[in-house]
Chain A
C-alpha cells in the first residue's frame, strides 16, 4: 500500500482565516514533505520532516506553520495568507530522508484558494 491521504481536497479561505491542511500515511515512512505547486509549474519543496523533526524549511513565510504530531501525521497550519498563496499543496512521504530511502509517494493534494 503506497497511499498518502490529504484533507481537505479543496479549501477556500479569507486572508484573516486560520485553517489547517492534514496529511496521513501508514506506510511506516519516517520522512514527510510539504510541497506547493502553482498552475503549470513543478512542485516546490516547502518543508521536510525527518523522524518527526523539522529538518528543512525552504525559507517559507511564517504564515505557513508545519507540525508533525506523530510519525504518520503531518499538518500545515495556515494563517493570514495572501491571494498569491493559492495553489495545490501536496504532501509526500518516503521511507527515510536520504536518497537511498528515497521514493517519495504523494497524496492527492489540497487545492487552496485564498480570497
Chain B
C-alpha cells in the first residue's frame, strides 16, 4: 500500500527565513505522481506542483523549489524568503493507478506559520 509521511506537524519561521517541508513516500509502483498542495485557512486546496516518477529534475518556481530524490523516496519543498502569505497547511500527495483509476494518498500535512 502506498504511504506518504510528513514528519513535521508544525513549523514556525520568521518572515524572510527559508524553510523546507519534508515528504517521504512509499510505493510499489514504478509509475506514480507526486504533488504538493497548499491549504490556507480558507480551506481550498491549491495545487502547487506535480512530478512524475521518471522526472527527477528539480524545479524552481519563484520562491518555491522542489527536490525529488527517488533514491531516498523523498520530495521536499523549500520556500525561500518566506512571507506571511505562505502561512498554510501544506500537503504532499502520491497518486497511483488503482484499477485504472487514480488513487491519491495525502500526507498528514505540515502547518507552516510565518511570523512577521
Residue numbers of A with Cβ under 8 A of B are 2, 31, 40-43, 45, 48, 50, 55-56, 88, 90, 92, 94, 97-99, 101-109, 111
- CB <8 Å contact, B108 and A50: no
A-B contact count (CB 8 A): 62
Chain A nearest CB from B92 CB (Å) reads: 10
**B106 interface neighbour in A43, A88, A94, A107, Cβ under 8 Å:** A43
Q: Secondary structure at chain B's binding surface: helix, strand, loop or mixed?
A: strand
B64 within 8 A of A: no
- Would you list 25 pairs from A and B whose C-beta atoms are within 8 A, ordered by A residue? A31-B102, A40-B109, A42-B91, A42-B109, A43-B106, A45-B103, A45-B104, A48-B101, A55-B101, A56-B101, A90-B43, A94-B102, A97-B100, A97-B102, A98-B100, A98-B101, A99-B96, A102-B50, A102-B102, A103-B35, A104-B102, A105-B47, A106-B47, A107-B44, A111-B43
- CB <8 Å contact, B102 and A98: yes
Residue numbers of B with Cβ under 8 A of A are 31-33, 35, 37, 42-47, 50, 91, 95-97, 100-104, 106-109
A-chain residues with CB within 8 Å of residue B95 when the two chains form the complex: 99, 102
Chain A nearest CB from B1 CB (Å) reads: 14
B-chain residues with CB within 8 Å of residue A92 when the two chains form the complex: 45
In order of increasing CB-CB distance, the 6 nearest A-B pairs are A42-B106, A106-B45, A108-B44, A109-B43, A99-B102, A99-B97
B-chain residues with CB within 8 Å of residue A43 when the two chains form the complex: 45, 91, 106
B-chain residues with CB within 8 Å of residue A94 when the two chains form the complex: 102
Q: How far is the CA of A90 from the CA of B44 in the complex (A)?
A: 8
Q: How far is the CA of A50 from the CA of B99 in the complex (A)?
A: 13
- CB <8 Å contact, A2 and B47: yes
Q: How far is the CA of A94 from the CA of B33 in the complex (A)?
A: 14
B-chain residues with CB within 8 Å of residue A101 when the two chains form the complex: 102
Chain B nearest CB from A64 CB (Å) reads: 19
Closest-by-CB residue of A relative to B97 is: A99
